[in-house]
């Protein structure tokens, strides 16, 4: 097959709550130098979903209105999040406000436990997720790589689980790749999205090679010297990583395995 055949080098879309999303890159919208840079980065990434903080837009007044107009002009799905919420009650209230403002049942659920690490409060997260799913929300929870928490979130009605790679904005990549690999193996049929901590396209490619369905990132693009080119780099890395996973990666080995058989190799005497 020709490598330019799109059936060869473009993996199939991502399934989220019964909908097929073409791009496996979800992009955050905070921290960009200007609206124009954000617009160009989103377009270059090919992302179909962008996250938006309700707190930021509610406090932004006219600026917030212009920002929402920009997002609507891009023709992408808005995924509101509950960024900055410290309790389940606060997250639930914010989610309900977001549903009214953005006219969507989808919510990226964040309940933060620690100001230094921005680690999720897994107890409040499960509580909020249970309430929101009962109220008809399609919840995408930001959580840790803890297997037991993921089980509770799934029982709460979450069809998507979003474990962190590393603390938000840290750029450390997959800090506990083995645990993330185990999570993927334990939930083979659940949509799993790496959320937070990704700093380089290679980190995103590794996540996809582990079998994750998508990557959500923000800082690595927004704070890059050239956000537009960086978003394109991440899109390419994610597509390559997914294609590698689907193609069947060879297992790692402790010993060398020759690609050319050594048995029967001719010996040439040059004397």
What confidence tens digit (pLDDT) does each residue in 57-82 have? 554 455 567 777 888 888 899 999 99
- Is the model's pLDDT at 160 over the cut of 50? yes
Task: Average the pLDDT over 23-40 and give the result.
Answer: 93
138 token code pair: 């399609």
From residue 2, alpha-carbon distances to 6, 7, 9, 13, 136 in Å are 9, 10, 10, 21, 45
User: Global pTM?
Assistant: 0.88
From residue 171, alpha-carbon distances to 59, 88, 167 in Å are 28, 27, 8
253 token code pair: 């080995």
DSSP structure class, residue 145:
S
pLDDT band with cut points at 50, 70 and 90 for residue 139 = very high
The pLDDT of residue 6 is: 47
What is the share, in percent, of the chain residues with pLDDT greater than 90?
73
Minimum mean pLDDT range among 146-150, 159-163, 249-253: 249-253
The pLDDT of residue 72 is: 82
Placement of tokens 């995103």 in the chain:
204
Within 13 Å and on the Cβ side, how many CA atoms surround 192? 28
The pLDDT of residue 74 is: 85
| Active-site residue, selected from the candidate residues 7, 43, 108, 223 | 108
Which residues, in sequence order, are CB contacts of 173 under 8 Å at separation 6+?
165, 166, 197, 198, 199, 200, 202, 203, 206
Minimum mean pLDDT range among 63-67, 131-135, 150-154: 63-67
Q: Is the distance from CB of 194 to CB of 174 less than 8 angstroms?
A: yes
- Is the model's pLDDT at 216 over the cut of 50? yes
217 token code pair: 């990132």
Q: What is the pLDDT of residues 178-192, one digit of tens each?
A: 999 999 999 999 999
- Is the model's pLDDT at 22 over the cut of 60? yes
The whole-angstrom separation of Cα 244 and Cα 227 is: 25
110 token code pair: 């964040």
Pick from 5, 6, 24: nearest CA to 14: 24
Pick from 196, 194, 190: nearest CA to 238: 194
The pLDDT of residue 214 is: 96
For residue 178, list its beta bridge partners: none
**How long, in residues, is the chain?**
271
- Is the model's pLDDT at 8 over the cut of 60? no
Q: Is 108 a catalytic residue?
A: yes
For residue 120, list its beta bridge partners: 112
- Is the model's pLDDT at 12 over the cut of 80? no
Minimum mean pLDDT range among 23-32, 48-57, 115-124, 176-185: 48-57
Mean pLDDT of the chain: 88
The whole-angstrom separation of Cα 125 and Cα 140 is: 11
């Amino acid at each position: 097959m020709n490598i330019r055949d799109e059936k060869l080098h473009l993996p199939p879309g991502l399934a989220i709550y019964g909908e097929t999303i073409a791009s496996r890159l979800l992009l955050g919208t905070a921290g960009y130098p200007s609206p124009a840079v954000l617009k160009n980065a989103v377009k270059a990434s090919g992302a179909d979903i962008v996250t938006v903080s309700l707190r930021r837009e509610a406090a932004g007044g006219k600026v917030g209105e212009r920002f929402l107009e920009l997002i609507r002009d891009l023709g992408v799905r808005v995924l509101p999040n509950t960024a900055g919420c410290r309790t389940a009650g606060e997250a639930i209230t914010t989610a309900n406000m977001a549903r009214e403002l953005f006219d969507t049942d989808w919510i990226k659920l964040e309940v933060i436990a620690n100001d230094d690490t921005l680690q999720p409060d897994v107890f409040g997260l499960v509580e909020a997720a249970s309430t929101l799913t009962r109220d008809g929300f399609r919840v995408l929870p930001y959580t840790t790589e803890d297997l037991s928490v993921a089980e509770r979130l799934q029982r709460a009605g979450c069809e998507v689980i979003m474990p962190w790679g590393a603390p938000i904005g840290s750029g450390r990549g997959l800090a506990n790749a083995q645990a993330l690999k185990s999570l993927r193996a334990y939930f083979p049929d659940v949509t799993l999205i790496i959320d937070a901590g990704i700093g380089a396209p290679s980190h995103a490619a590794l996540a996809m090679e582990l079998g994750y369905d998508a990557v959500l990132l923000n800082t690595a693009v927004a704070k890059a010297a050239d956000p537009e080119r960086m978003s394109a780099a991440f899109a390419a890395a994610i597509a390559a990583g997914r294609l590698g996973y689907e193609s069947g990666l060879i297992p790692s080995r402790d010993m060398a395995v020759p690609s050319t058989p050594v048995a029967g190799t001719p010996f040439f005497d040059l004397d």
